[in-house]
Amino acid sequence: MPARVNLNVPPRLIESARAAQYANREALDGRALTEKIRAKAQARRAAVLRQQSGVAPDRGDDSPPGRDPLKWRIWRKRRPLGRRITYTIEGVRDFDVIGDGTGAIVYTVIDEWTIYVEWDGYEKKIWAKLLFLDIKIDSDIGAPRSAVYISTFVDPQTGDELAPLISWISYKTSGAGGPIDGIAGGALAMTLEDPIPFDSFPETTQDPYGRLLNPALIPASGTNLLAGEYNPLHAWTPVAPDQGPPLSFGYGVTAANPLANEYDISRIELAPGYDKTSSLALTEERSYGVSIIVKP
């Protein structure tokens, strides 16, 4: 015969359990209502997107975005990533307004270009630093301009970086800073020793022309990068050695005007191992700075 057990449950415990049950039921109802509202909002958003042409369909919050297979397909063989250089180019312009004592307004423009390099095992250090000076008056033609171009190359077999072509370009306006009948310009082209000395990092020194250059930098005038079909500075007229550094170029008002094509990228792109060309310029008539990082 089964035994009968009488339990005397306090009313306070019964009320507490009943209150917990009501709370759980209310939380479940609230969660279900939230899910319904979210589903309706997503359905309305998807309906609106379907009516808009060129918009990808809504896939909800949890599904990854769709990829166009043609957009993400790799059409060329990847180059092996060997020893590579990261370049940092910085340009600073000091633009000042002065008087010449007669009431005329004269402007002085000083551009300082610095190139830093770094690679595995070596921190960022100065590779080269150059200064350009221009003096102009209100009647001069246009704003002063200077620029830096770096074309990099990669060995397709090893992925190691090859010697780049580095070009500094500057223009001087007419008047006090140039010929009275036009604009004067100059270009300085340099490259690195090939192969690049990845196992050493020589300290930058100052040369007789006041430039800070790394000993591994050499004039590019004797390389095939400035010869024949590869020469991006073909619009410039080489300056005779007794008129300046043998690796500089210049032009006068009677020569071909490189303002239209100061650095012909379509030519340097034909060079073996060409990777890319990066550039930076100072053109505004104010004091300011610009910078760019050229990564592998």
Reported as type and span, the H/E element at residue 73 is none
Which three-class secondary structure state does DSSP give residue 70?
helix
Predicted pLDDT at 241: 60
Under-70 pLDDT residues of the chain: 1-9, 13, 49, 52-80, 99-101, 103, 139-142, 173-183, 240-246, 251-257
pTM, rounded to two decimals? 0.69
| Structure tokens belonging to residue 243 | 């008129």
**Which residue from 164, 172, 186 is spatially nearest to 115, judged by alpha carbons?**
164
pLDDT reported for residue 115:
95
Residue 191: which of 98, 128, 270, 256 has the closest Cα?
128
Beta bridge partners of residue 277, listed in sequence order: 151
Contact between 232 and 267 under an 8 Å Cβ cutoff? The reply is yes
Q: Which long-range contacts (CB under 8 A, 24 or more apart) does 106-110 make?
A: 106/135, 106/136, 106/137, 106/176, 107/135, 107/136, 107/137, 107/285, 108/133, 108/134, 108/135, 109/133, 109/134, 109/135, 109/136, 109/144, 109/285
